[in-house]
Amino acid sequence: MKLENKIGLVTGAGRGIGKGCALELAHNGADLVINDRPGSPDIASTAKEIRAFGRSCTVIVKDVFSPVGREALVREAFESTDRIDFLVSNPAKNVRGSFLEFDPKDFERVIQCTLTSGFHLSQLVARQMVKRGAVGKIVFISSVHAEMPFANNTAYGAAKAGLNHMTCTIATELSQHRINVNAIEPGWIDTPGEWESYGKDALRQEGTRLPWGRLGTPRDIGKAVTFFVSDEADYITGVVMPVDGGYRFKDLRSET
């Protein structure tokens, strides 16, 4: 129960990586405020699973892709509890397409949803942490796309690369307030979104080709997040950590 007496805010917690983080945090003793988009069919189920661990859980449904939604989320989160000890910032949107044909409006949308949303959310939460004179933790969910130039992913890669640099810059500024700021780069993770894109059978086959012999799970990411928001990571800030089972070097291995 390394997170007992800790209270956190997790965005995008309805399913996938956000849900995996929320459940692992609750499993380790954290009480949570969780968020997903309006109309989410999944957030109530996540809350039920969190409460099954004996943890408190407040659900706030807001669109974190919009400034108004982000402001309302953070305001209501701090109204619902006396403090927020950590933020897991998980907004992201991807639109794939050829660079030569890519619509600039789609580029701007991906940047806004993935990079700007992370900036604004962390700023709003950090302001409240500083106002209260409290130490805190911020963890951004980035991606190996930040380092690997995948074709047809110009906007998403740029957004995640910007998120990595932003992590280090914010960490530099907030160190005087003892607010740790780090990021995690998931590799290929077995999530409902990936099922919809590739199909479960294809995913299982691709997983066997990775260095670790399987795709990552949302819980793998949740374990890393749990470490970063725990007291065990007190002396770690400004770090971008891949959690990818070796995905970054999957094509660099010897055949013998």
Mean pLDDT across 106-126 = 98
Q: What is the pLDDT of residues 168-177, one digit of tens each?
A: 999 999 999 9
Is residue 1 a part of any domain in this protein? no
The amino acid present at 40, given as its one-letter code, is: S
Query: What pLDDT was estimated at residue 254?
Result: 73
**Active-site residue identified among 160, 223, 230, 247:** 160
**Active-site residue identified among 143, 223, 230, 247:** 143
Structure tokens at 158: 């740029």
Q: What is the CATH number of the domain that holds 117?
A: 3.40.50.720
Is residue 64 a part of any domain in this protein? yes
Q: In this predicted model, which residue has the larger pLDDT, 23 or 82?
A: 23
**What does the mean pLDDT of the chain come to?**
95
Is residue 76 a part of any domain in this protein? yes
Q: Is 247 a catalytic residue?
A: no
**Active-site residue identified among 19, 62, 117, 156:** 156
Residue with tokens 């805010």: 9
Mean pLDDT across 105-113 = 98
Is residue 210 a part of any domain in this protein? yes
Task: Give, in degrees to the nearest 5, the angle at Cα 12 between 34 and 158.
Answer: 140
Is residue 25 a part of any domain in this protein? yes
Q: How many CA atoms lie within 13 A of 117 on its CB side?
A: 29
Q: 205 falls in which pLDDT band (50, 70, 90)?
A: confident
Q: How far apart are the first and last CA of the chain?
A: 43
Which structural domain range is residue 150 located in? 7-248
Residue 183 confidence (pLDDT) above 80: yes
Is residue 186 a part of any domain in this protein? yes
The number of folded domains in the chain is: 1
Residue 255 confidence (pLDDT) above 70: no
Q: Is 156 a catalytic residue?
A: yes
Q: Is 198 a catalytic residue?
A: no
Query: What pLDDT was estimated at residue 194?
Result: 79
Is residue 2 a part of any domain in this protein? no
Query: What pLDDT was estimated at residue 121?
Result: 98
